[in-house]
Amino acid sequence: MAARFRFRLESLLKLRRSLEQAAQRALARTLERREAAREHLERLRQAGVETVESRSVPAGQPVDLERWRAAERYLVVLERQIREAGEQLREAEARVVTARQELVRAHRAHLMLVRLKERRQELHALEMLREEAREMDEMAVLRYRHGPVLTGGGAREVSP
């Protein structure tokens, strides 16, 4: 009876598969955070453009200096926020790169075990074929040693 293949590192393979999936989820979360940081930066830049456009006054109209000063103060605050958002975006980009590297590492570790399992399965199948061939050879030798099977001498077909 052929022995069934059993991969002794199956539990480690499952662990590596789960670690790879965890790395995929972590990468997805960092990509979402990076996208949120990018959108936040874009909103701040758009607010800056809108504030600059709001300062323009049609020709011949009086300029409201208080509103102008408030817009200038807001632009200063926006510039600082834009710098901070830009820094946050760069940090998010760095985290994405790190998460991608972790995913690649986890994927390689998982793939290494998958390939090992495949090689061991192939070796097991080859060994089972050899075992089967050896058993067939043994049966052939035993048949030969016990003599040929009588097919025509003892049993005759009778025709009516």
What structural domains and CATH numbers belong to the chain? Answer: 10-115 (1.10.287.1700)
Under DSSP, the state recorded for 3 is P
Amino acid (1-letter code) at residue 100: R
Neighbours of 112 (CB within 10 A): 12
- Least confident segment among 1-5, 19-23, 45-49, 129-133: 1-5
pTM of the complete model beyond 0.75: no
**CA proximity to 136, closest of 146, 144, 125:** 144
Residue 21: band (very low, low, confident or very high) from pLDDT cuts 50, 70, 90:
very high
Residue 150: band (very low, low, confident or very high) from pLDDT cuts 50, 70, 90:
low
Give the span between the Cα atoms of 13 and 9, in whole angstroms.
6
Q: Are 27 and 96 in contact (CB under 8 A)?
A: yes
